[in-house]
Each structure stands twice: as C-alpha cells, then as structure tokens.
C-alpha cells in the first residue's frame, strides 16, 4: 500500500522467494527466457564498449539497467525481466550514478586494509630476502604470492559483501542518502552472508568462463558475454534480496512505478 505522504511505495505484501534457497544456474537460464534477450545483451554490450570511449557513462547506464531488472523481478515474481529501453537512458544513468557513488565510497573506505596487506607482503618478502639472500627471497615469493592472492580474493569478497546491501538500497530506492542504513546492512549480511560468499565464487567462475567464450568469438564477443554476466548478477542480487526477506529481513521501500 502506498502512502501519499511518503514518496516510496511499500512492498510489505510482496511474497518472498518460495524455496528460500539460492538457484545459481537459474541466474544464467533466465537471461534467455526473454524473447528479446539478444537485443538486451547487445545494448548492455554497447554500454560496456562505450566505456573505452567515454569512461564511466556506459558503466552507470548498465548499472542502472541492472538494478531496474532487480526491481522488476521483485515487483513481479515469475515474470521475465524488462527489456533495455533506450527511452529510459536518463533514468538508468541517474540510478546507476547513485549505485556507483555508494560503491566508490565503500571501496575507498576499504583502501587502508588493501594498502596494509600490500605493505605487509612487501615487508615479508623483503625480510626473507635479507635473511636468506636470493634463495630466501625466491622461497618467500613462492609462499607469499599464493597466500596474497587468496587474501586479496577474500578481501574482494568481503568488500562485495559490505557493498551489496548499500548498493541494493541505492539501486532500489534511487536515493544516495537512504542507501547508508547500517542496521539494514548488518541484518542483510547476517541473513545472507554464506550465500553472498557462494555468489561471489560462482560469479568469478562464470565470469571467467564467459570471458573465455567471448575471447574465442574474435575477442569482440567478450563485451557481449560480459553482458550476460551482468544480467546474471542482477538475478543473483534479486535472489539474495528475496532470501533476506524470506528470513525475516526488512523490506526496502520502492518509489511508485512511472506510468
């Protein structure tokens, strides 16, 4: 029920995801259920391609479209996702801007941690080299590099887990200030942290496979296989949100749909 004094529309009556579980491969299959999937993939691919000419703008547009897909899937469970609408480019751009800004702030907040890991790595390798000469440095590198990669991957997953609830609120509410609800973020992470870790690993694996397929398609194909990855991420985010609701999490209020 909407409230005239509130610019947002309540979605309390929206049913949660029936199964209460994640369906990872469903995020791939649903992309092709839309009869216009090739056109949608093409438009998102052009957005990605445009970032090489005009940085950021294309990224904002596809991020805005991605979260319009999340919103549509939430509002209309079981329906196909909306087509990329060139008449809504400005809407996508504005929505994507809030998402980008929130992600940037969270990323900047994590920079000291990343910098600290880089310094620690340099100190460990340098100390081993000084103590054991070239052999010591070589052994230290053999041990430290895999460990660093694992730690950096863990940090990346942690940053993603922290970012998702804030970006979800920014993308659905289309409001920068409303995005930083730390109570919601804590609740969302508590409800879905295991699934977010698995989603991150699944997305990494799927992204690598799609990149390989794209490179095999004369390299240009990578822009369009990455479009599929972006649409897959939209469905995974949707599933995480519905799982959060199914586990008693707070609802994100939505703006009334434009007529």
- Coil, strand or helix: which one is 254? strand
Residues 206, 250 contacting (CB under 8 angstroms): no
Q: Is residue 42 part of a domain?
A: yes
- Coil, strand or helix: which one is 2? strand
Domain that holds residue 158: 26-246
Report, as an integer, the average pLDDT of 41-53. 93
131-188 pLDDT, tens digit each: 666 666 677 677 777 877 888 888 889 889 999 999 999 999 998 989 999 999 999 9
Report, as an integer, the average pLDDT of 241-251. 95
Q: Is residue 10 part of a domain?
A: no
90-120 pLDDT, tens digit each: 999 999 999 999 999 988 988 888 788 778 7
Q: What's the pLDDT at 10?
A: 42
pLDDT at 89 over 70: yes
Q: What's the pLDDT at 114?
A: 78
Among 200, 161, 206, 160, residue whose Cα is nearest residue 25:
206
Q: Is residue 222 part of a domain?
A: yes
Q: Is residue 80 part of a domain?
A: yes
The DSSP string of 81-148 is: PPPP-GGGHHHHHHHHHHHHHHHHHHHHHHHHHHHHHHHHHHHHHHHHHHHHHHHHHHHHHHHHHHHH
Structural domains counted in the chain: 1
Q: Is residue 257 part of a domain?
A: no
pLDDT at 12 over 50: no
Q: Is residue 130 part of a domain?
A: yes
Q: What is the pTM of this model?
A: 0.84
198-230 pLDDT, tens digit each: 999 999 999 999 999 988 877 778 989 999 999
Q: Is residue 191 part of a domain?
A: yes
Q: Is residue 6 part of a domain?
A: no
């Amino acid at each position: 029920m909407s409230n005239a004094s509130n610019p947002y529309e309540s979605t309390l009556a929206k049913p949660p995801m029936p199964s209460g579980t994640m369906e990872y491969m469903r995020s791939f299959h649903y992309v092709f259920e839309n009869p216009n999937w090739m056109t949608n993939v093409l438009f998102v691919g052009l957005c990605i391609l445009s970032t090489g000419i005009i940085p950021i703008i294309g990224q904002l547009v596809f991020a805005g479209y991605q979260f319009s897909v999340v919103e549509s899937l939430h509002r209309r469970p079981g329906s196909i996702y909306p087509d990329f609408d060139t008449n809504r480019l400005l809407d996508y751009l504005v929505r994507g801007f809030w998402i980008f800004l929130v992600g940037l702030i969270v990323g900047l907040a994590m920079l000291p941690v990343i910098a600290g890991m880089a310094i620690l790595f340099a100190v460990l390798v340098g100390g081993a080299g000084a103590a054991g000469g070239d052999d010591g440095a070589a052994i230290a590198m053999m041990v430290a590099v895999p460990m660093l990669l694992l730690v950096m991957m863990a940090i990346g997953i942690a940053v993603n887990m922290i970012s998702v609830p804030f970006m979800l609120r920014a993308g659905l509410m289309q409001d920068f200030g409303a995005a930083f609800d730390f109570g919601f973020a804590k609740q969302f992470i508590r409800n879905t942290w295991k699934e977010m870790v698995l989603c991150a690993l699944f997305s990494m694996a799927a992204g690598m496979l799609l990149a390989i397929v794209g490179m095999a398609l004369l390299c240009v194909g990578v822009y369009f296989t990455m479009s599929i990855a972006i649409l897959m991420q939209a469905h995974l985010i949707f599933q995480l949100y519905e799982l959060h609701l199914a586990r008693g999490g707070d609802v994100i209020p939505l703006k009334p749909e434009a007529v």
